[in-house]
Chain A
């Protein structure tokens, strides 16, 4: 195998600087969206726990709905990220 020796430089993937910049920009934007959503959950739980126990969607309280939404949102944002990321030209 070519990379048995730890001192030899590793064959890196050929990458376009513009693609790398685009992808990490998308990552940061989506990350900020999620941080705001997660921060809202933390703030409500810590500073207004009563709001969290109110029924919100078909009788299910906000705490459960928001919790499920955070899980679903993570997946949705991950899929969006896959879609918007560009591939480096070979």
Chain B
């Protein structure tokens, strides 16, 4: 779908980005010491920090990815919401207080507090860098996807713009401005999503959606018996496929899908010729006369009681209505002709609410409906990774050091859970609202939430897009902070024992932030075709496998030794990373190989690699001498 660039969106975006940079310059002048740079001097108010937690956590993947997944497939996207939130329970009940008690600036500090071991410092710093980079990739990819329709830039420009702004924010001020950026964007995102949800419930659901100017959307024809033109003979690549080519009176060739009952349904096609020329539904792609573009999709084909619209509905009424309706979802299939033209056929999939409102509705999770036990492991493993991953994410962990004491750490986590939980409830409404708004881009699920806002009005679209963009800025700056802390503090100061005064340390961190920023830009461009939400799932897998066993055992098992911790981090990180790189999903999406040849049986490693981390820690600890209590740790 070609999106029209909106001047209002551009202006609002510039306003947001400008304000954020202004705030960070202003606050940056107040943070000159190492403690001020890395941990905001421990002086952030708990309520602000709590909302900043939400800002840190509600990344581009949370907002764009989950809403998109719900809009395209239904309930399965909501599973991510549930898992992402449940992870906070581990953070609050198990990790928050001991970590605050142990640590100083970084995750490695906390792990190393008891032992003062260079091995732990190195392992923890590397794991922080790996997890942060894995988490950075989807954010950068999301940023590129967002500016493309919003500002009309190509993907790589979006990635570079985000990278440059964020690096500027981080290198100017560190944790104070990062916290305030998170706070502003966290509150804006949640308030705006609540407003959209209320407007959505007031609008209700209709089988005849309109755009925001009141013009009716095109409803694709279904189950027709008479084709609108002459049937063309099939070329080799299309033989045996459930499609026919039809030439109308004007000579335009369209593709129709053969249904099981002998009727035909309209499809949309996007054909890309070897020379790069694109054709939509038989016409050159474009907005001018004689050109065509893919139609926006997503509408209810049948409401309960066969009414045309529901009028305003209650929150529960909305869900119930969706369960009892039938919605046109869209599938797609790629067919390559002998001349190298690749045609993507987007076809209608009428789906009952009963089917898309329960687990197993998407390609990612459809195996939970299979009978085989091994098929279900992928789902169980991902849910485990989401649950365990949150408390192991370095950029979330460092936020515990920005408040003054443990009571504040506890309070800010509770505020964080309340805000994030409320937001995740809203994702179900936003996703289902987008599914039925008649505004979806059939080629890009990531744009579903902003397009839902556009179906209500342009202003809301401009604001939500700008906020989504600041969401990316916020999350990326938090990640770069964590990574630069790992380099300057854990690696340079503590591992390589480079003597640096306070000023030099902050300068080293800023140089590190700049380097990580550049790496993030490059990775964001390289991985532009990857599925955003899937990459985040992988980051959670690695974080949980590498960090959680070490963190938990250190807190709860006195026999834990420094060798045990180092081994657990390294084994957890290497095994989960290796598993991911050898999985069917990586074969398919990264290397372009046949996924059936993948070595590991399922794509999400957590269910194997988390227990492996615990096992390695226990065995290595038992094989090495019992740790001696240091007086400092005992106090």
A34-B86, A70-B86, A87-B407 as given contacts; A63 in contact with B383, CB under 8 Å: no
CA distance A70 to B82 in the complex (A): 7
**Complex contact B92–A78 (CB within 8 A):** yes
With CB as the reference atom, state the residue of chain A lying closest to B405.
A13
Q: Which residues of A contact B89 (CB under 8 A)?
A: 30-31, 34, 38, 74, 77-78
Q: Which residues of B contact A23 (CB under 8 A)?
A: 97
CB distance from A2 to the nearest CB of B (A): 9
**Complex contact B88–A74 (CB within 8 A):** yes
**Complex contact B379–A82 (CB within 8 A):** no
**Complex contact A60–B319 (CB within 8 A):** yes
With CB as the reference atom, state the residue of chain B lying closest to A68.
B425
**Complex contact A30–B414 (CB within 8 A):** no
Q: Which residues of A contact B85 (CB under 8 A)?
A: 70-71, 74
With CB as the reference atom, state the residue of chain A lying closest to B407.
A87
A4-B35, A31-B89 as given contacts; A10 in contact with B357, CB under 8 Å: no
**Complex contact A52–B101 (CB within 8 A):** no
With CB as the reference atom, state the residue of chain A lying closest to B32.
A1
CA distance A74 to B418 in the complex (A): 9
**Complex contact A12–B358 (CB within 8 A):** no
CA distance A68 to B428 in the complex (A): 10
CA distance A60 to B316 in the complex (A): 7
Interface residue count on the A side (C-beta < 8 Å): 49
Interface residues of B in 335-376 (CB under 8 A from A): 354-355, 357-360, 368-369, 376
B387 beta carbon closer than 8 Å to chain A: yes
CA distance A82 to B98 in the complex (A): 15
**Complex contact A60–B410 (CB within 8 A):** no
A28, A61, A79, A87: most-surrounded residue (chain B CB, <10 A): A61
Q: What are the interface flags for B402-425 relative to A under an 8 Å C-beta threshold, 1 for contact and 0 otherwise?
A: 000111001101100110010011
Q: Which residues of A contact B376 (CB under 8 A)?
A: 46-47
**Complex contact B82–A6 (CB within 8 A):** no
CA distance A5 to B79 in the complex (A): 45
Q: Which residues of A contact B325 (CB under 8 A)?
A: none
CA distance A5 to B405 in the complex (A): 20
**Complex contact A82–B319 (CB within 8 A):** no
CB distance from A90 to the nearest CB of B (A): 11
B79, B85, B359: most-surrounded residue (chain A CB, <10 A): B359
With CB as the reference atom, state the residue of chain A lying closest to B367.
A46
**Complex contact A49–B368 (CB within 8 A):** yes
CA distance A23 to B96 in the complex (A): 11
Known contacts A6-B505, A30-B89, A68-B425, then 18 further A-B pairs from the complex at CB < 8 Å, ordered by chain A residue: A1-B33, A6-B104, A27-B97, A30-B93, A42-B383, A42-B384, A45-B360, A49-B358, A53-B357, A57-B316, A60-B323, A63-B357, A63-B359, A64-B78, A64-B319, A74-B86, A81-B92, A85-B407
21 cross-chain CB contacts under 8 A: A4-B35, A4-B502, A12-B635, A13-B405, A24-B98, A31-B89, A38-B86, A45-B359, A63-B75, A67-B78, A70-B82, A70-B85, A71-B82, A72-B421, A75-B414, A75-B417, A78-B89, A78-B92, A78-B418, A82-B414, A85-B410
**Nearest 4 A-B pairs (CB), nearest first?**
A53-B358, A27-B93, A31-B93, A45-B359
